[in-house]
Amino acid sequence: MRRLALPGIVFATFIFLAAPVLIVVVASFNSGAVLSFPPTGFTTRWYERINPLFLHAVYVSLVVGLSTAFLSTVFGVPAALALARGRYAGRDLLNSLCLSPLMVPALVTGVALYQFSLAVWDVTGIGLGGTIPGLVLGHMTFGIPFVIRAVIAGHARFDRALEEAARNLGATPLETFWRVTLPVLQPSIVSGAIFAFLMSLDDVPIALFVGGGDATTLPVRIFTTVEFDFGGDIMAVASLIVGASVVLMLLLDRLVGLEQFFGSRH
Amino acid sequence: MLANGSALAGARPRSAAPDVWLWVLLPTLAVLGLIFGLPLADLIAVSVHEMTGPAQVGDALTLEHYRAFVTDPFFLVMVVRTFWLGFLVVAFCLAIGYPVAYYLARTTSRWRGMALFLVISPLLVSAIVRNIGWFPILGGSGVVNWILMSIGLIDEPLRLISNFTGVVIGLVHALLPLMILTLTTVIQRVEPELEEAAANLGAGPALVFWRVLLPLSLPGVVAGSLLVFAMAISAYTTPAILGGNRVLVMSTYIAQQFRTVLDYPAGGTAAALLLLFAALLTLLALRVRTKGGEAG
Amino acid sequence: MSDVRFEAVEKAYGDFVAVRGIDLHIRPGEFLTLLGPSGCGKTTCLRLVAGFIAPTSGRIVMGGRDVTALPPHRRNTGMVFQSYALFPHRTVAENIAFGLEVRRLSRAECRARVADAVKLVRLERLVDSYPAQLSGGQRQRVALARAIVIKPDVLLLDEPLAALDLKLREELQVEIKRIQSEIKITTLFVTHDQGEALSMSDRVAVMRDGAIVQIGAPDELYERPNSRYVANFVGRTNLIPVVVRGRTDRGYRVASRTAPPMDFEVAGPQTATFDVGEACFLGARPEHLHLGTGRANAIEAEVRTLTYLGSVWRVEVETTAGEMFTVLAHPGEALPLSGAIVPIGWRAESCFLLKDT
Q: Report pLDDT digits (tens) over C242-252.
A: 999 999 888 89
pLDDT band per the 50, 70, 90 thresholds, residue B53: confident
Q: Do A164 and C99 touch (CB under 8 A)?
A: no
Q: Do C53 and B7 touch (CB under 8 A)?
A: no
Chain C contact probe: residue of A158, A169, A175, A189 with most C CBs at under 10 A: A169
Strands C31-35 and C203-208: parallel
Nearest chain B CA: its distance from C28 CA (Å):
27
B115-124: burial string, b at 16+ Cβ within 10 Å, e else:
bbebbbbbbb
Q: Which of A36-45, B8-17, C12-21, C75-84 has the lowest mean pLDDT?
A: B8-17
Residue B2 reports pLDDT greater than 50 = no
Give the type of residue at B163.
N
Candidates C74, C102, C147; nearest CB to A175: C102
Is C225 within 8 Å of C267 (Cβ atoms)?
A: no
Percent with pLDDT over 70 in chain C: 100
pLDDT band per the 50, 70, 90 thresholds, residue B15: very low
CA distances from A171 to B60, C100, C145, C229 (A): 63, 10, 17, 41
DSSP assignment of B66-88: HHHHHH-HHHHHHHHHHHHHHHH
Give the type of residue at C7.
E
Nearest chain C CA: its distance from B18 CA (Å):
18
Shortest CA distance from B4: residue in chain C? C52
Nearest-10 Cα torsion for C199, C200, C202, C205: -80
Q: What stretches of chain B adopt beta strand conformation (E)?
A: 49-53, 56-61
Residue B99 reports pLDDT greater than 90 = yes
Mean pLDDT over residues C204-224, rounded? 93
Q: Do B9 and C51 touch (CB under 8 A)?
A: no
B35-53: burial string, b at 16+ Cβ within 10 Å, e else:
bbbbbbebbebbbbbebee
What rounded mean pLDDT belongs to chain C? 90
Candidates C71, C89, C102; nearest CB to A169: C102
Within 10 angstroms of residue C136's Cβ, the number of other Cβ atoms is 14
Report the half-sphere exposure of C111 (CA within 13 A, side-chain side).
Answer: 3
Backbone angles phi, psi at C274, to 5 degrees: -120, 140
User: Length of chain C in residues, anyone?
Assistant: 357
Closest C-alpha to C298, from C322, C264, C327: C264
Nearest chain B CA: its distance from C356 CA (Å):
39
Position B291 scores a pLDDT of: 65
Q: C291 forms bridges with which residues in the sheet? A: C344
Strands C154-158 and C186-191: parallel
- Give the contacts of C91 (CB within 8 A, at least 6 positions apart): C127, C128, C129, C130
Q: Report pLDDT digits (tens) over B144-203.
A: 998 999 898 888 888 998 899 999 999 999 999 999 999 999 999 888 888 888 878 778
Position C232 scores a pLDDT of: 87
Chain A contact probe: residue of C74, C102, C154 with most A CBs at under 10 A: C102
Residue A1 reports pLDDT greater than 70 = no
Chain A contact probe: residue of B28, B94, B237 with most A CBs at under 10 A: B28
Q: C25 forms bridges with which residues in the sheet? A: C5
Q: Do B267 and A18 touch (CB under 8 A)?
A: no
Residue B260 reports pLDDT greater than 50 = yes
Position A263 scores a pLDDT of: 53
Mean pLDDT over residues C23-43, rounded? 93
Nearest chain B CA: its distance from C93 CA (Å):
26
- What SS3 state is found at A229? coil
Candidates C87, C89, C103; nearest CB to A170: C103
Q: Do C52 and B11 touch (CB under 8 A)?
A: no
Mean pLDDT over residues A127-132, rounded? 89
Chain B hits for A177, Cβ within 8 Å: 1-2
Chain B hits for A27, Cβ within 8 Å: 136
Q: Do B1 and A81 touch (CB under 8 A)?
A: yes
C291-315: burial string, b at 16+ Cβ within 10 Å, e else:
beeebebbbebebeeeeeeeebbeb
Put simply, whether A36 touches B (Cβ < 8 Å) is: yes
pLDDT band per the 50, 70, 90 thresholds, residue B92: very high
CA distances from C353 to B236, C144, C251, C258 (A): 84, 41, 10, 17
Burial category of C128 from C-beta neighbours within 10 Å (exposed 0-12, middle 13-18, buried 19 and up): exposed
Is B51 within 8 Å of B57 (Cβ atoms)?
A: yes
Chain A contact probe: residue of B32, B47, B158, B258 with most A CBs at under 10 A: B32
What 3 state SS string does chain C have? CCCEEEEEEEEEECCEEEEEEEEEEECCCCEEEEECCCCCCHHHHHHHHHCCCCCCEEEEEECCEECCCCCHHHCCEEEECCCCCCCCCCCHHHHHHHHHHHCCCCHHHHHHHHHHHHHHCCCHHHCCCCHHHCCHHHHHHHHHHHHHCCCCCEEEEECCCCCCCHHHHHHHHHHHHHHHHHHCCEEEEEECCHHHHHHHCCEEEEEECCEEEEEECHHHHHHCCCCHHHHHHCCCCEEEEEEEEEECCCEEEEEECCCCCCEEEEECCCCCCCCCCCEEEEEECHHHCEECCCCCEEEEEEEEEEEECCCCEEEEEEECCCCEEEEEECCCCCCCCCCCEEEEEECHHHEEEEECC
Mean pLDDT over residues A32-58, rounded? 85
Strands C313-319 and C279-284: unpaired
- Give the contacts of C212 (CB within 8 A, at least 6 positions apart): C22, C24, C205, C206
Residue B259 reports pLDDT greater than 60 = yes
Position C329 scores a pLDDT of: 85
pLDDT band per the 50, 70, 90 thresholds, residue A80: very high
Which chains lie within 8 Å of chain A at 3 or more CB pairs, if any? B, C
Candidates A6, A104, A138; nearest CB to B275: A104
Chain C hits for B5, Cβ within 8 Å: none
Query: Is ipTM > 0.85 here?
Result: yes
Backbone angles phi, psi at A165, to 5 degrees: -60, -45
CA distances from A169 to A161, C103, C115, C123 (A): 12, 9, 18, 20
* Radius of gyration of the CA atoms of chain A, in A: 23
Q: Do A114 and B96 touch (CB under 8 A)?
A: no
Position B13 scores a pLDDT of: 41
Give the type of residue at C60.
I
Percent with pLDDT over 90 in chain A: 59
Q: Do B2 and A174 touch (CB under 8 A)?
A: yes
Tell which A residues from 51 to 110 touch B, by Cβ distance under 8 Å: 75-76, 78-79, 81-83, 85-88, 94, 97-98, 100-101, 103-109
Closest C-alpha to B99, from B80, B117, B119: B119
Put simply, whether B174 touches A (Cβ < 8 Å) is: no
Chain C contact probe: residue of B6, B12, B14 with most C CBs at under 10 A: B6
pLDDT band per the 50, 70, 90 thresholds, residue B14: very low
pLDDT band per the 50, 70, 90 thresholds, residue A163: very high
- What SS3 state is found at B49? strand
Position A259 scores a pLDDT of: 63
Q: Do B274 and A108 touch (CB under 8 A)?
A: yes
Burial category of B70 from C-beta neighbours within 10 Å (exposed 0-12, middle 13-18, buried 19 and up): exposed
Backbone angles phi, psi at C191, to 5 degrees: -155, 160
Shortest CA distance from B8: residue in chain C? C71
Q: Which DSSP category does B48 fall into?
A: T
Residue A136 reports pLDDT greater than 80 = yes
Strands C211-216 and C203-208: antiparallel
Q: Find the largest Cα–Cα distance for chain C.
A: 79
Q: In this structure, is the dihedral angle defined by the CA atoms of residues C142, C145, C149 and C150, taken in order, positive or negative?
A: positive
CA distances from A46 to A27, A30, A234, A243, B153 (A): 10, 9, 8, 16, 33
Mean pLDDT over residues C17-43, rounded? 93
Tell which A residues from 246 to 265 touch B, by Cβ distance under 8 Å: 248-249, 252-253, 258-259, 262-263
Closest C-alpha to C117, from C83, C143, C84: C143
Q: Report pLDDT digits (tens) over C282-336.
A: 999 998 888 887 888 988 899 999 998 888 889 999 988 888 899 988 777 778 8
pLDDT band per the 50, 70, 90 thresholds, residue B3: very low
Position B238 scores a pLDDT of: 95
Put simply, whether C57 touches B (Cβ < 8 Å) is: no
User: Taking CA C306 as the corner, what is the angle to CA C303 and CA C311, rounded to the nearest 5 degrees?
Assistant: 130
Position A44 scores a pLDDT of: 85
Put simply, whether C54 touches B (Cβ < 8 Å) is: yes
pLDDT band per the 50, 70, 90 thresholds, residue A123: confident
Q: Do B10 and C69 touch (CB under 8 A)?
A: no
Position C76 scores a pLDDT of: 92
Helix B214-234 with B164-189: angle, nearest 10 deg: 150
Is C80 within 8 Å of C143 (Cβ atoms)?
A: yes
The reply to whether omega before A38 is within 30° of 0 (cis) is: yes
Position B18 scores a pLDDT of: 54
Give the type of residue at A5.
A
* Radius of gyration of the CA atoms of chain B, in A: 25
Is C2 within 8 Å of C62 (Cβ atoms)?
A: yes
What rounded mean pLDDT belongs to chain B? 86
Residue B12 reports pLDDT greater than 60 = no
Position A49 scores a pLDDT of: 85
Which contacts (CB < 8 Å, 24+ apart) does range B57-64 have? B57/B264, B57/B265
Residue A186 reports pLDDT greater than 50 = yes
Position C217 scores a pLDDT of: 95
Position A262 scores a pLDDT of: 62
A118-144: burial string, b at 16+ Cβ within 10 Å, e else:
bbbeeeeeeebbebbebbbbbbbbbbb
Q: Do B130 and A21 touch (CB under 8 A)?
A: yes
Put simply, whether B200 touches C (Cβ < 8 Å) is: no
